[in-house]
C-alpha cells in the first residue's frame, strides 16, 4: 500500500487547502444547485412526493437519484426512487455530478491534475525499466504491475494526459451547451474503472524506435493517443509527447501552498 502514490490528492497541501476544503472552489456546483434546471427537478419531485418544495434541496434529491442508480447498477432492479425522475431529470442530475467531478478532480483547476504527476511518472519509470531490461536481454523483473486506487486517483491522471477535455469548461450556466460534452464521469470512471498501459517488444520493427510500442486501454477499450490519434504509439513518441510532465512536474513544488496572502480563487 502506497498512499502517497495512489492517494496523491491527500498529500497535496495546495489541493487540500484550495480545492478539497475550500467551499469557494465549488461555486459553479453550488450555483447550478440553485439554477433553473435544478429548480425544475425540485418542483417535480416535491409534487410527486406531495411535499412543499421548501422541504427539499438539491442534495436531498441527489441522494434519491443515487439510491435509484445504485440499485439499478448493482442489483439490476428498478428502485421505487427511480419513479420520481424522468430521463431529462436524470440528465440534469448527471450534469450536477459531472460539474463536481470537473471542478474537484478534473479540468476545473490545474492543481487537480498536476498533483497526479507523481503517479504518471511512476508508470513511466516502470515502463523504462522494462525497456532497459529487454534491451539488456534480461528477464523482465516485473512483467505485470497492478496499482489499486479510486475514481479520484484515475480522473486527475486522465486530465493530466489531456483526455475528455471540452472546448469550453463545464459551468453552472451552460448546461444546454454541454449536452454533447466529452467529460462524463459516469463513462470515464464507472464502477471498476481501470487504465492499462501495454508495452510491446516488436521484433519486426523497421527502426530501433519502432522496437518498443505502447497501447493504452481505459475500461478495456483501446484509447486513441493524443499526439497521433492512433491506438498504438512508439514508446519514444509517447515519452516525447509527455516530456514536459515527465521532466518538469515536481510533486513537492506543485503542491506547495502559496506563501502570499492571495485568496484561494486568485491562486487557482
Question: In this structure, is the dihedral angle defined by the CA atoms of residues 105, 107, 113 and 114, taken in order, positive or negative?
Answer: negative
Residue 161 included in any domain: yes
139 within domain boundaries: yes
| Cβ neighbours of 40 (radius 10 Å) | 13
Beta bridge partners of 221: 218
Asked whether residue 213 is assigned to any structural domain, the reply reads: yes
Q: Could you tell me if residue 8 is inside a domain? A: yes
Q: Give 215's strand partners.
A: 198
The C-alpha atoms of residue 167 and residue 164 are separated, in whole angstroms, by: 10
Residue 94's domain is classified under what CATH number?
3.40.50.1240
Residue 1: the pLDDT is 81
pLDDT the model gives residue 2: 85
Q: Is residue 260 part of a domain?
A: no
Predicted local confidence at residue 208, as pLDDT: 82
What are the C-alpha distances in Å from 40 to residues 55, 138, 228? 15, 64, 43
Domain membership of residue 234 (yes or no) is yes
DSSP β-bridge partners for residue 216: 197
- For 59, 120, 131, 134, 265, the CA distances from 125, given in Å and listed in that order, are 42, 9, 10, 14, 34
In the chain, how many domains are there?
1
Per-residue pLDDT of the chain (268 residues; tens, 9 = 90+): 889 999 999 999 999 999 999 999 999 999 999 999 999 999 999 999 999 999 999 999 999 999 999 999 999 999 999 999 999 999 999 999 999 999 999 999 999 999 999 999 999 999 999 999 999 999 999 999 999 999 999 999 999 999 999 999 999 999 999 999 999 999 999 999 999 999 999 988 778 889 999 999 999 999 999 999 999 999 999 999 999 999 999 999 999 998 765 555 555 6
Buried residues in 46-72 as b, exposed as e (16+ CB within 10 A): beeeeeeeeebebeebbebbeebbebe
First to last CA, the chain: 31
User: CA 8, CA 222: separation in Å to the nearest integer?
Assistant: 26
pLDDT of residue 206: 74
Residue 264 placed within a domain: no
DSSP 89-143: HHHHHHHHHHHHHHHHTSTTSHHHHHTTHHHHHHHHHHHHHHHHHHHTT---S-S
Q: Could you list the residue range(s) of the whole structural domain that residue 238 is in?
A: 3-255
Is 32 contained in some domain? yes
Amino acid at each position: 500500500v502506497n498512499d502517497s502514490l495512489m492517494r496523491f490528492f491527500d498529500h497535496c497541501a495546495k489541493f487540500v487547502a484550495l480545492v478539497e476544503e475550500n467551499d469557494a472552489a465549488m461555486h459553479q456546483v453550488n450555483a447550478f444547485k440553485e439554477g433553473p434546471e435544478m429548480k425544475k427537478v425540485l418542483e417535480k419531485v416535491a409534487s410527486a412526493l406531495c411535499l412543499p418544495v421548501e422541504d427539499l434541496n438539491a442534495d436531498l434529491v441527489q441522494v434519491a437519484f443515487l439510491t435509484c442508480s445504485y440499485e439499478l447498477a448493482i442489483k439490476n432492479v428498478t428502485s421505487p426512487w427511480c419513479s420520481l425522475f424522468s430521463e431529462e431529470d436524470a440528465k440534469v442530475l448527471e450534469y450536477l455530478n459531472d460539474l463536481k467531478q470537473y471542478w474537484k478532480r478534473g479540468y476545473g483547476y490545474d492543481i487537480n491534475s498536476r498533483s497526479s504527476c507523481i503517479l504518471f511518472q511512476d508508470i513511466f519509470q516502470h515502463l523504462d525499466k522494462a525497456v532497459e531490461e529487454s534491451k539488456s536481454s534480461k528477464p523482465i523483473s516485473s512483467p505485470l504491475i497492478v496499482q489499486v486506487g479510486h475514481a479520484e486517483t484515475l480522473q486527475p491522471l486522465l486530465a493530466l494526459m489531456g483526455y475528455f477535455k471540452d472546448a469550453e469548461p463545464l459551468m453552472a450556466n451552460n448546461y444546454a451547451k454541454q449536452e454533447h460534452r466529452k467529460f462524463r464521469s459516469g463513462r470515464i470512471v464507472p464502477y471498476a474503472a481501470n487504465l492499462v498501459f501495454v508495452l510491446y517488444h516488436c521484433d519486426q520493427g523497421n527502426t530501433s524506435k519502432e522496437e518498443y510500442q505502447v497501447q493504452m486501454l481505459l475500461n478495456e477499450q483501446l484509447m486513441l493517443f493524443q499526439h497521433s490519434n492512433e491506438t498504438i504509439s512508439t514508446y519514444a513518441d509517447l515519452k516525447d509527447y509527455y516530456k514536459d510532465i515527465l521532466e518538469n512536474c515536481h510533486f513537492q513544488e506543485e503542491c506547495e501552498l502559496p506563501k502570499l496572502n492571495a485568496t484561494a480563487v486568485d491562486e487557482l
